[in-house]
A and B are shown apart, each in its own frame.
Chain A
Amino acid sequence: MHAIALDSKYGVPTVAIHTNAFEKAVQSVTRMHGMPEARYTFVPQPVMGKTVEQLRAYVEGKSPISGRPVMQEVIEGLTRPAEGDRIKEIKFERSTPRLVDSDTDENLQRLFLENNWTDKLPIVLPTERKVREMLAHTSRKPDEVAGHMRSNQFRQYWEFTVEKVAVNAVMAGARPEYFPLILALASSGVSARGSTTSSMAAMVVVNGPIRNEIGMNSGTGAMAPYNHANATIGRAYGLLSQNLQGGSLPGDSYMGSQGNGYAYGTVTFAENEERSPWAPFHVQHGFKPADSTLSIFTGCRSTAFTLGVREKYWREHVRNMLRGMDAHSAPTFLLDPIAARQYIDRGGFDTKEKMIEWVYENALMPAGEYWDYQLIQNYIYPRATFGEEPYASKLKAAPDEMIKMFKLDEIHVVVVGGETNGYWRIMGCNYQKTVSVDEWR
Chain B
Amino acid sequence: MADGINETDKISVLNPVGFPPKITPKPMAPRLESLDGKTLYLVDPRFDDSGLFLRQVQDWFADHMPSVTIKLVEMSSVYTKDDPKTWEMIKANGDGAIIGVGH
What is A's interface to B at a CB cutoff of 8 Å? 1-19, 22, 31-35, 37-38, 43, 46-50, 52, 55-56, 58-60, 71, 74-75, 78-82, 87, 90-100, 102-106, 108, 112, 117, 125-131, 149, 153-154, 156-161, 163-164, 167-168, 171, 239-240, 243-246, 374, 377-379, 381-383, 385-386, 388
Q: Is the interface of A mostly helix, strand, loop or mixed?
A: mixed
Which of B26, B47, B78 lies in contact with A383, CB distance below 8 A? B78
Alpha-carbon distance between A157 and B83 when the two chains are bound, in angstroms: 21
Which 8 A/B pairs are nearest by Cβ-Cβ distance? A17-B100, A244-B18, A8-B26, A48-B48, A160-B18, A102-B10, A158-B18, A14-B97
Alpha-carbon distance between A74 and B97 when the two chains are bound, in angstroms: 10
Note all chain B residues with C-beta closer than 8 A to A90. Answer: 23, 25
* Contact present for B99 and A14 (CB under 8 Å): yes
Note all chain B residues with C-beta closer than 8 A to A161. Answer: 19
Closest-CB distance, B52 to chain A (whole angstroms): 6
What 1/0 mask marks residues of chain B from 23 to 64 whose CB sits below 8 Å from any chain A CB?
Answer: 111111111111100001001011111101101110110001
* Contact present for A17 and B31 (CB under 8 Å): no
Which of B16, B48, B99 lies in contact with A168, CB distance below 8 A? B16
* Contact present for A96 and B18 (CB under 8 Å): yes
Note all chain A residues with C-beta closer than 8 A to B9. Answer: 104
Alpha-carbon distance between A203 and B34 when the two chains are bound, in angstroms: 53
Q: Which residue of B lies closest to A94 (CB)?
A: B20
Closest-CB distance, A43 to chain B (whole angstroms): 7
Alpha-carbon distance between A32 and B52 when the two chains are bound, in angstroms: 30
Alpha-carbon distance between A149 and B68 when the two chains are bound, in angstroms: 43
Q: Which residue of A lies closest to B88 (CB)?
A: A10
* Contact present for A102 and B12 (CB under 8 Å): yes
Contact of B72 with A by CB under 8 A: no
* Contact present for A163 and B14 (CB under 8 Å): yes
* Contact present for A71 and B64 (CB under 8 Å): yes
* A91-B16 CB under 8 A given contacts A13-B32, A55-B52: no
* Contact present for A47 and B53 (CB under 8 Å): yes
Q: In which size bucket is the chain B interface?
A: 35 or more
* Contact present for B26 and A6 (CB under 8 Å): no
Note all chain B residues with C-beta closer than 8 A to A99. Answer: 12-15
Alpha-carbon distance between A8 and B21 when the two chains are bound, in angstroms: 19
* Contact present for B22 and A386 (CB under 8 Å): no
Q: Which residue of B lies closest to A123 (CB)?
A: B16
Closest-CB distance, A84 to chain B (whole angstroms): 10
* Contact present for A22 and B28 (CB under 8 Å): no
* A92-B53 CB under 8 A given contacts A5-B87, A10-B90: no
Alpha-carbon distance between A366 and B57 when the two chains are bound, in angstroms: 34
* Contact present for B48 and A382 (CB under 8 Å): no
26 pairs, CB–CB < 8 Å, chain A vs chain B: A2-B87, A11-B91, A12-B95, A14-B96, A14-B97, A14-B99, A15-B99, A16-B103, A19-B101, A47-B49, A50-B52, A58-B53, A58-B56, A79-B34, A93-B22, A94-B22, A96-B18, A96-B20, A104-B10, A108-B11, A125-B2, A126-B13, A158-B20, A246-B17, A246-B20, A382-B79
* Contact present for A5 and B82 (CB under 8 Å): yes
Alpha-carbon distance between A74 and B102 when the two chains are bound, in angstroms: 14
* A159-B21 CB under 8 A given contacts A14-B29, A19-B102, A102-B10: yes
Q: Which residue of A lies closest to B60 (CB)?
A: A59
Contact of B76 with A by CB under 8 A: yes
* A79-B33 CB under 8 A given contacts A58-B56, A96-B19, A99-B13: yes
- Among A14, A99, A163, max chain B CB count under 10 A is at A14
Closest-CB distance, B34 to chain A (whole angstroms): 7
- Among A8, A13, A71, A388, max chain B CB count under 10 A is at A13
Which of B16, B24, B74, B78 lies in contact with A243, CB distance below 8 A? B16
Note all chain A residues with C-beta closer than 8 A to B79. Answer: 2, 378, 382
Q: Which residue of B lies closest to A115 (CB)?
A: B17
Which of A9, A15, A82, A130 lies in contact with B98, CB distance below 8 A? A15
Alpha-carbon distance between A409 and B67 when the two chains are bound, in angstroms: 51
**Interface contacts beyond A6-B99, A37-B28, A46-B48: sample of 8 additional A-B pairs, CB < 8 Å, sorted by A:** A13-B97, A17-B57, A17-B100, A34-B23, A55-B53, A127-B14, A382-B46, A386-B76
Q: Which residue of A lies closest to B21 (CB)?
A: A156
* Contact present for A74 and B101 (CB under 8 Å): no
Alpha-carbon distance between A71 and B63 when the two chains are bound, in angstroms: 12
Alpha-carbon distance between A374 and B48 when the two chains are bound, in angstroms: 7
Note all chain A residues with C-beta closer than 8 A to B47. Answer: 378
Which of A33, A71, A149 lies in contact with B18, CB distance below 8 A? A149
